[in-house]
Amino acid sequence: MYSRMIRNDMSKSRLITLATTLFIAAAAMLVSLAAVLVIHLSGAIDTLMKRSETPHFMQMHRGDIDLARLEEFAEQHDNVQEFQVLKFLNIDGSQIRFGNHSLVNHVQDNGFSVQSEKFDYLLDLNGNIIQVNDGELYVPISYWKDGITKVGDEAVISGKLFTVAGFLRDSQMNSSLASSKRFLISPNDFEDLQNRGSIEYLIEFRLVDFSQLKEFETAYALADLETNGPTLTYPLFKTINAISDGMMIGVIILVSLLVVAIAFMCIRFTLLTKIEEDYREIGVMKAIGLRVSDIKRMYLGKYAFIAAMGSILGFLLSFLFQGVLLANIRLYMGESENASLGWLFGVLGSLFVFTAILVYVNGVLKRFHKISAAEAIRFGMSQDKTQRTKGFRLRDKKLLTANIYLGIKDVLTRKRLYGTMLAVLVISTFMMIVPQNLYNTISSDDFIKYMGIGKSDLRIDVQQTENIVGKSSEIRNMMQNDNTISKYAMFTTKTFKMRLKDGTEETIKIEIGDHSQFPVEYSEGRAPIAEDEIALSVLNAEELARKVGDTVPVVIHGMEQDLTVSGIYSDITNGGKTAKAVFDDNTAESMWVVFAAKLADPILIESKVSEYASKFSYAKVSNINQYILQTFGSTMNSVGKATYSAIAVALILSVVITLLFMKMLIAKDRYSISVLKAIGFTNSDIQTQYISRSVFILVIGIFVGTILANTLGEMIAGGLISSFGASTFQFTINPITAYLFSPLLLISFVLIATVVGALGAGRLTISGNIKG
Amino acid sequence: MKKLLIGDQIVKSFSEGNEKRTILDHVSIEIDQGEFVTIMGPSGSGKSTLLFALSGMDEITGGRVLMNGRDISELREKELSDLRRRKMGIVFQQPTMLHNLNMLDNIILPSVKDNRKNVASITQKAEALMERVGIAGLKDRDISKVSGGQLQRAGICRALMNNPDILFADEPTGALNSTSAQGIMNIFSEINQEGIAILLVTHDVKVAARAERILLMLDGKIVRELKLSKNKEGRGDDGKRIEMITEQLREIGI
Ligand SMILES: Nc1ncnc2c1ncn2[C@@H]1O[C@H](COP(=O)(O)OP(=O)(O)O)[C@@H](O)[C@H]1O
Ligand SMILES: [Mg+2]
C-alpha cells in the first residue's frame, strides 16, 4: 500500500520531486567529489614525496661552501639519516630557448641539476627515477602544461643543443608558487654548462626522527654553517604542493556544504507544504487510530526513495567530473597509491548525504506529534503559532498601503517560517559576495603587500656574493640618474648575531633600508622608523616569541643593542623568516640586495626591464605585474571562475527555493487568501502582499548576508589566503559589483520568482476554501 | 422598485472524473433595492453555491448575474473585486478573519485598502459600528481570543464598512446559540430598515420569518417562493409567520 501511495504522490508533484532529487544529487555529487579529491590529493602528494624522498630540511646557499665542515656536522648529528649537497645551476631565462620561445619573461628562477644519488629524486611521469643520457633534457611539468615545449623539441641552453626527452615531477618545486624550477641534464652536460651560470647549493638532510625537525633546525642555525639563502622544510614543501588544488577543494567543500544546507531547506519546504495539504488526512488517520510512527513511515518512505535516487545519481555524476578535476593533480603529483580507495570514499560521501537527509526528514516529521486530530479535522489546516506584534497596527502605519502592511505584518507574525527563507537569502548573498571579494583581493595590485613584497613597478634582485656592495651601488647610481624612475629604494639584507635569553647565539637576516618606501602590509604595528626599531615577519615573531613592543638583542658594530619590535608583517619570500630595520652597519656581511622602483610612466616597464637586464647581467630584473601574473595567475583564474559559478549557483538556488517557498506559503495561506478575495482584494493586491514579504526579507537577508560576508566571510577567506603565507588581510572590495549589482541581481531574480510563485494564489477559488 | 441584483438562468456544474454534476440547475432570482430575502432548503441543495455565484466569488457554468444592470461576468477581475468591496457585504457561517490582525484592523481592512489617508475617520466609523453591535471593548483583541458570536458581529461590521447595496449572509447564525443568534438577527433587521438589501441563507424558521420573501431550494432549483408582508417590527417571534413558513416547508418535504 505504501509503495502505491508513494508512486501516486510523486506523479502528482512531478516537478517538485524532480527538483528535490536534483538538489540531493548535486549535494551528493559535490560531497563525493570533495571526498575523492581530498583522498587523491593527499595520497598523491604522499606518494610523490615518498618516491622522491623529499628532503626534510634544506638550506639554499650562494657563495663559498665548506663541504668538509658540513659533512662533519652531518656525521656528528645523531638525527641525520642522509645528507647531500646538490648543485643548482642558475641560468638566465633569456639563455633557455625552446624553438623561438625563450623563458626571458618568466619570473621563476630556472636552474639545471643532475639526478641526485641519495634522495630528492626527480621523477618521470610514471613516478620512476629518471636516468638521463647526454644531450637529453627533462623539463619541469609546468612548462608542458603551459604549452611551452613538448617531447622531441629542440632546446638551446646557453648555446648548447639539447633534445627534450621528457618531463619531470619535482616534489619541491612543482607548484607555480615555488619560485624556482629544476631542469634535469646529464653529469657531462652539467660540466659543460657549469661556467655559463651561477651555482647555488641545495644543502639537504633527511632525518631519522622527523618529529625532531624543529630541534634540528635550531642545531643547524647554531652551528654557524652555510646560510646564505632561504631555509625550507618538509611541511612547507607539502603545503606548497597542496595549495592550488587544496584551494579548489576548499571551494568545493564550501559550496557542497551550502548545497547540502539548501537541499535541506528544499526538503523542508516541500515537506511542510505536503503536510499542510494533507493536514486533514493526517488528522483523520490519527483519529481512526493509526500511530504516528505508521504515518511517519509513509512520508519517510517517499523521501528515502528520493534521497536514494538522488544520492546514486550524484555519485554517478561525480565520476563525470572526477576526471577533469583530478587531471591537474594527476599531472603534477601523479597517481595516488591508494587511488583504488577513491571510489569507496565517493560512496561514503553519497551515503553521508543520504543518511543526513533521512535524519533531517525524520526530524521535520516530528511535528506530526503536535497535530491535534480535532483541530486538523475542524480547520483543515495548521493554526500557526503567531507571535503577537503589538504596536504594529494597521491604523497606525499610515505610510504603508494596506497591501504592504499586510505583507510585512505577516512576516513579523510568522518569524520562524520566514526565518528559513531568510537563511537562504543570507546564504545566497554570502555566496555571491565572498568569492568576488576574495577574487578582487587577490587580483588587486596591493595583494602582494600581504606576501612581503612592496608594491612597485620594477624589482631588481642582486644575489651574487662577489662585490655585492660595489655592484649594487652601480645600479643605484643608474637609478638615481634615470629620470624615468620617479622613486626607488634599495634594501640590503645582512646577517646579524642575536643573543637569546638562555645565552645562546642565533643569526638573524635583517633587511636594511627605508621601509616607508614601497611598504608591505603590517598585520600589527608599523614599519621601523627609528634606528632602534625592528619589524619581524610573522614566522620570525612566532619563533622568537616576540610581540610588538618587545625587544630583540642584536649585535650591531660589535655591540649588543636592544631593538624594539615596531611591527609584524607576513612574508613568503626567502623562506618566510625575515626582519626589517633602518639602522646601518657597514661591518655586517651583505647577503643580497633588492631594488624597488616606480616609473614615471608605467608604459615604460617592459623597456626598462630589458634595459636594466641587459646592462646588469648579474642581477635579476623583474616586472612586478608579470611576477604576480605568473605566480598567482592560475589561482586568480580559478577563483575568478569560482566567483562566476558561485553567483550563478546562488541565483539559481534563490529562484528555486523562492518558488518552493511561495508554493508552500500559498498552500498554508489558502484560507487567508480566500478571505481577502471574498472581501474584495484583487489578485494583484495579493501579489503585492507577497512581493512586500519578499522585499522585506530580501532587504534583511541582503543586509545580514553582506555583514556576514565581511566578517565571517573575511575570516574564511583569510584562512584560504593564509595558505599563501599572508597572516591577516582585509578584503579589497569593489563596492559597485559587491554592494550594488549583486544585491540588485538577487533582488530581481527573487522578485521574479515571487511573482511567478504567487500566481498560484490567483488560481485559488474562494468557494473551494471557505465552506458555506 | 428597481432591480438591484438579477440571477438569470444560472447553471453551475462540477465535473467529477468523467461525470458532470449540476449543482445549480437554471436558477433565476431577482432582488430589489432594500429587499430582505431568505433562502431555505436542505443541506446540499446548492444554497451556498448560489450565494457564491451571485456575489461573483465563483464562476458560473451558464446564465448571467446582473448587478445594478451590469453583467458581472463581463467585469475584469479587478472591477469585480472593486464591486464586491464597495457594493456588497458578505457574512459567512464561520467567521472569516485574518489570524494575524486584531479585531479592529480586520474590520477596517477593506476600507483602508481604498482610502489609506482617512484611517482616522474609517476607524471612527468602525468603532461606531462595533459599539452598535455590542463589541466596542474588543478593538485590540486577538481574533483567537473572542467568542464565535463576537467574531460574527465583527464580520458584520466589516461587511457594513463600505455602505454596501446588498449584504449576503450564509447561515450567519448557524454556529451560534439562540440568544446570540437573536442579537445578530436584530442587527440584520436594523440595517435592512436603513435600506440595505439582504440575501440570507438559513435553516432557522425564526430567522427566515424576518424576511419579506422566502425562496425554497431543492436539488439545485428554487421550487417555491413565499411572499410575506414587510416585517415592520423586525422581530422573529411572530407566531403566525412562523407557522405559515413551517407549513410550506412541510409541504415540499423539508
Ligand atoms: N467545489 C465543489 N466541487 C464539487 N462539488 C461541490 C463543490 N462545492 C459544492 N459542491 C457540491 O454542491 C452541492 C451543493 O453544495 P452547497 O451549495 O454547499 O450546499 P448547501 O445548500 O448545503 O450550502 C453539494 O452536494 C456539494 O457536494
Ligand atoms: Mg451551505
Q: In this predicted structure, what is the pLDDT of residue A302?
A: 84
For chain B, the domain total comes to: 1
SS in 3 state form for chain B? CCEEEEEEEEEEEEEECCEEEEEEEEEEEEEECCCEEEEECCCCCCHHHHHHHHCCCCCCCEEEEEECCEEHHHCCHHHHHHHHHHHEEEECCCCCCCCCCEHHHHHHHHHHHHCCCCHHHHHHHHHHHHHHHCCHHHCCCEHHHCCHHHHHHHHHHHHHCCCCCEEEEECCCCCCCHHHHHHHHHHHHHHHHCCCEEEEECCCHHHHCCCCEEEEEECCEEEEEEECCCCCCCCCCCHHHHHHHHHHHHHCCC
Quick one: cell of A545?
616569541
Query: Distances from the Cα of B51 to the Cαs of A613, B65, B216, in angstroms?
Result: 95, 11, 14
Q: Which of B52, B90, B104 sits opposite A679 (nearest CB)?
A: B90
- Give the pLDDT confidence of B23-53 residue by residue, as tens digits: 999 999 999 999 999 999 999 899 999 998 9
B12: which residues sit within 8 A by CB, 6+ positions away?
Answer: B22, B23, B24, B46, B49, B50, B53, B58, B60, B61, B220
Mean pLDDT of chain A: 84
Nearest CA to ligand 1 atom 24: B44
User: A657, A310, A628: which is closest to A456 by C-alpha?
Assistant: A628
d(CA A261, CA A255): 10
Residue A147 exposed, middle or buried by CB count within 10 Å (0-12, 13-18, 19+)? exposed
pLDDT at A674 exceeding the cut of 60:
yes
Ligand 1 pocket check: which of B15, B23, B52 to mutate, most ligand atoms within 8 Å of Cβ?
A: B23
CA distance, residue B114 to nearest chain A CA (Å): 9
> B 150-179 residues with CB below 8 A of A?
158, 170-171
pLDDT at A388 exceeding the cut of 60:
no
User: A744, A755, A749: which is closest to A689 by C-alpha?
Assistant: A755
Q: Which of B96, B105, B122 sits opposite A675 (nearest CB)?
A: B96
d(CA A228, CA A328): 34
- Give the pLDDT confidence of A193-242 residue by residue, as tens digits: 988 888 899 999 999 998 888 889 888 988 888 888 788 888 888 887 88
Q: Is A677–B57 a contact, with Cβ atoms under 8 angstroms apart?
A: yes
User: A307, A390, A327, A271: which is closest to A23 by C-alpha?
Assistant: A307
CA max distance for chain B: 55
Q: What is the CATH number of the domain that holds B110?
A: 3.40.50.300
Q: What percent of chain A shows pLDDT beyond 90? A: 28
CA of B80 to the centre of ligand 1 (A): 23
A460: which residues sit within 8 A by CB, 6+ positions away?
Answer: A475, A594, A595, A597, A612, A616, A619, A620, A621, A622
Q: In this predicted structure, what is the pLDDT of residue A387?
A: 54
Nearest CA to ligand 1 atom 17: B46
Say yes or no: A752 contacts chain B, CB-CB below 8 A: no
Ligand 1 pocket check: which of B10, B45, B49, B170 to mutate, most ligand atoms within 8 Å of Cβ?
A: B49
Which range, of A459-463, A642-646, B61-65, averages the lowest pLDDT?
A642-646
Q: Is A403–B113 a contact, with Cβ atoms under 8 angstroms apart?
A: yes
Q: In this predicted structure, what is the pLDDT of residue A386?
A: 54
Quick one: cell of A31?
560531497
- Give the pLDDT confidence of A580-597 residue by residue, as tens digits: 999 988 888 888 899 999
> B 18-37 residues with CB below 8 A of A?
none
Q: In this predicted structure, what is the pLDDT of residue A342?
A: 81
Say yes or no: B51 contacts chain A, CB-CB below 8 A: yes
In which band, very low, low, confident or very high, does the pLDDT at A12 lie, cut at 50, 70 and 90? low
Say yes or no: A413 contacts chain B, CB-CB below 8 A: yes
For A772, which residue in chain B has the nearest alpha carbon?
A: B48
- Give the pLDDT confidence of A272-286 residue by residue, as tens digits: 877 877 777 777 777
- Give the pLDDT confidence of A132-162 residue by residue, as tens digits: 999 999 999 988 888 889 899 999 998 899 9
Q: In this predicted structure, what is the pLDDT of residue A580?
A: 94
pLDDT at A188 exceeding the cut of 80:
yes
Partners of A661 in beta bridges:
none
Q: From the CB of residue A500, how many other CB atoms can be counted at a distance below 10 Å?
A: 11
CB pairs under 8 A between A and B: 108
Nearest CA to ligand 1 atom 10: B23
d(CA A55, CA A205): 6
pLDDT at A667 exceeding the cut of 70:
yes
Query: Distances from the Cα of A301 to the Cαs of A272, A305, A370, B212, in angstroms?
Result: 16, 6, 21, 60
Quick one: cell of A178?
615555488
Task: Compute the average pLDDT of residues A725-752.
Answer: 82
Q: Is A409–B101 a contact, with Cβ atoms under 8 angstroms apart?
A: yes
User: A755, A620, A600: which is closest to A692 by C-alpha?
Assistant: A755
Q: Which residues line ligand 1 (CB under 6 A)?
A: A 767-768, 772; B 14, 23, 41, 43-49
Parallel, antiparallel or unpaired: strands A533-537 and A559-569 = parallel
d(CA A712, CA A697): 21
Q: In this predicted structure, what is the pLDDT of residue A336?
A: 77
Question: Which residue's entry shows cell 477559488?
Answer: A765
- Give the pLDDT confidence of A588-624 residue by residue, as tens digits: 888 889 999 999 988 888 888 889 988 888 888 888 8
Residue B96 · residue B115 · CB < 8 Å: no
Stated length of chain A: 772
Q: Which of A388, A394, A680 sits opposite B85 (nearest CB)?
A: A680
**Contacts of residue B143 in chain A, CB cutoff 8 Å?**
none
**Coil vs helix vs strand at A116:** coil
Nearest CA to ligand 1 atom 18: B48
Q: In this predicted structure, what is the pLDDT of residue A375?
A: 59
**Contacts of residue B113 in chain A, CB cutoff 8 Å?**
401-403, 680-681, 685
A685: left (phi over 0), alpha (psi -120 to 50) or beta: alpha
Stated length of chain B: 254
Which residues in chain B land under pLDDT 70?
1, 231-238, 254
pLDDT at A2 exceeding the cut of 80:
no
pLDDT at A455 exceeding the cut of 80:
yes
Q: Where are the domains of chain A?
A: 1-58+228-383, 64-71+80-208, 389-448+629-772, 466-617
CA of B200 to the centre of ligand 2 (A): 11
CA distance, residue A367 to nearest chain B CA (Å): 21
Quick one: cell of A448?
602582494
User: Where in the sequence is the domain holding B118, given as residue range(s)?
Assistant: 3-251
Q: From the CB of residue B177, how many other CB atoms can be counted at a distance below 10 Å?
A: 11
ipTM, interface predicted TM-score of the complex: 0.84
Q: E strands of A121-185, at which residues? A: 136-140, 154-157, 160-168, 180-184
Counting ligands in written order, the one closest to the CA of B43 is 1
Long-range contacts of B19-28 (CB under 8 A, 24+ apart): B22/B220, B23/B49, B23/B220, B24/B49, B24/B50, B24/B53, B24/B60, B24/B220, B25/B219, B25/B220, B25/B221, B26/B62, B26/B63, B26/B221, B27/B63, B27/B220, B27/B221, B27/B222, B28/B63, B28/B222
Element (H, E) at A461: strand A458-462
Q: In this predicted structure, what is the pLDDT of residue A466?
A: 72
Say yes or no: B13 contacts chain A, CB-CB below 8 A: no
Q: Who wins on pLDDT, A337 or A67?
A: A67
For A673, which residue in chain B has the nearest alpha carbon?
A: B98
Nearest CA to ligand 1 atom 5: B14
d(CA A644, CA A628): 22
**Contacts of residue B51 in chain A, CB cutoff 8 Å?**
772
Q: From the candidates A679, A681, A763, A767, which should be mutated to test the interface with B, based on the most B CB atoms within 10 A? A: A679
Q: Is A393–B48 a contact, with Cβ atoms under 8 angstroms apart?
A: no
pLDDT at A11 exceeding the cut of 70:
no
User: B78, B131, B82: which is closest to B104 by C-alpha?
Assistant: B131
What pTM value is reported for the model?
0.71
